[in-house]
Structure 1
């Protein structure tokens, strides 16, 4: 069955044009125009991906995203006319998987949706570990099969995007991954030099892994090169 995409957007013309374009590319698309009712509608429908506007009647998209995350396991792509870094970071912190500023070229939106729905990594230049479903580093354990991670026996509360990034880094432990490597593996596009979403997720992962933000040892920053997941320092 074709993946189901829900567009939560109060601009009816934009929503209909976007839906028609995605339908042409094989997706089932449902439209919804209000934020307040979306928080009940989405958990009931459980679409594969939600394209969520920020400025919505009834309840803004950030609040919808915050309320949805405990009840919805699919992907959330925030799309908004407000092109501000703080909005992007806030959306990602609330559990969104990706962020696009309007106006969005349809082909770019389609590429992001395809990347978010793609299961597994390694299709865009970075080979991941495919024969290991569980990785262990001292007290840290991460399972691709169950999409869960634990540190010292305590489960980590991770968004879908955070888990994908953490698995990618852990499955390449001891190897430096550039931002371009990461963007290609997770989104299917290269790093444009301006996107801060990877840095924001790394910062949140470090907090959840109890890594020192001033001198991280578990997810290290290698200057001018990228990020390195340490094989040690997990006791």
Structure 2
């Protein structure tokens, strides 16, 4: 069976930013996303007949030439991420073929809303509430990147972050992540949470943690020090 087509491609040497963008597409939006650190790596792995919905070009060598080469060869909505050092002006990005320019700093919510307006990402009305409750997107992307969470672990943290400080039952997790009720006795979430807890403790100590509440579910807690770290590490 063929896999799901790649929805988004990110080119960026900034690993934290690239992973946060992949987190937005794969975990929050439920779309596939690939990340490359150079235009050469991109063309080594991506054929010119693919049709990703969106391509984001951040900090890579020879950005102007890269934007033009991608625009000429690959279909898709092309966004250039404007760098603080001004190596590629907004005007030049458009002249080289970019469809849009995203200025740093930005939020993941801003990017998702921009793509919703331009190419219909999360365009159905059932996703309206997702955009209304998006203040935690950047925080969860930072936590996932710093702690080295897998995509499955990041999905769980995504749900727990939406209910930070409140107990989330196994049934609620299963309904949101798997689209079905939790099977009593299934320890999948217990296993994932144990791994998440270990990674969070190793990275953040007790400042950002997940606890298991017996017979109830899980709760993600962020103390004042953890909140301060998240506030200092936005995109």
* Higher-strand-fraction structure: 1
* TM-score normalised to structure 2 length: 0.43
Q: Which one has the bigger helix percentage?
A: 2
Structure number with bigger Rg: 2
